[in-house]
Amino acid sequence: MTAAWEDPIGYVLRASTTGFSVGTRVSQMGKPAFGSIVKAQPRTDEREWVYGLLFDMHIDDDPMVRQLVLADAVSEETIRDQHHHRIVPVEMDILAIGFRSYDGPIRHALPPHPPLSLDPVFLCNPEETKEIAAHFDYFRIVLATAQVPSEQLLAAHLIATAGVLPEDEQYDFLVRAGREAARLLNNDMARLDSLLRLIYPV
């Protein structure tokens, strides 16, 4: 059985320097989750690997679904077939938080170029996740982006990231993250309070 980060979770549909959208099958939806760190991997070494946080997943309808929702009864076999063969992909939206040039370190900044259509997208493995979260410079990007639910997104990401750390390091990681958030949100106590409540260990 392959690890979750070894196979693509989807492929780039559209992109800009601030983020990108990924198309995937229904069967692939179980791997990524809200707040997951993903990377768009270029097909050549001439372009950057672009890292981002998954902030939205949406399932648009297609002509078959429009017909099926009006049917009096739909069999389980029909539903399974529609999930497997649907003609419209599930879409995931990614906020860019960093990039890596060939053989270089991850930089917490918007990438100089967006990924290209059909570039494969992977979940980041634990080593990459730790490398990204070793510094909190990308918090500013997340918290300053009005198009995403920033406190919810950052909290989900931090909790998931803490989960890949040794158990005795998880609490300290969340405390350090909370302090950095407090520094950035010192003039917005409502947002800070919301974020801290979301990451407070239960």
184, 191 Cβ separation under 8 angstroms: no
Is 5 contained in some domain? no
Q: How far apart are CA 201 and CA 192, in angstroms?
A: 16
Is 130 contained in some domain? yes
Q: Which of 9, 107, 94 is nearest to 49 (CA)?
A: 107
Walking along the chain (202 residues) 10 residues at a time, the average pLDDT comes out as 84 97 86 95 90 94 70 73 72 97 91 96 96 96 96 97 96 96 97 95 68
Domain that holds residue 182: 10-199
What pLDDT sits at residue 80?
75
pTM: 0.89
Is 117 contained in some domain? yes
How many domains does the chain divide into? 1
The bridge status of strand 49-58 relative to strand 37-40 is antiparallel
Q: Mean pLDDT, the chain, as a whole number?
A: 90
Is 3 contained in some domain? no
Is 2 contained in some domain? no
Is 49 contained in some domain? yes
Strand ranges, E, within the chain: 10-16, 19-24, 37-40, 49-58, 90-100, 106-107, 120-123
Is 1 contained in some domain? no
- Chain segment 29-75, per-residue pLDDT in tens: 788 999 999 999 998 878 999 999 999 999 887 777 777 766 667 77
What pLDDT sits at residue 70?
65
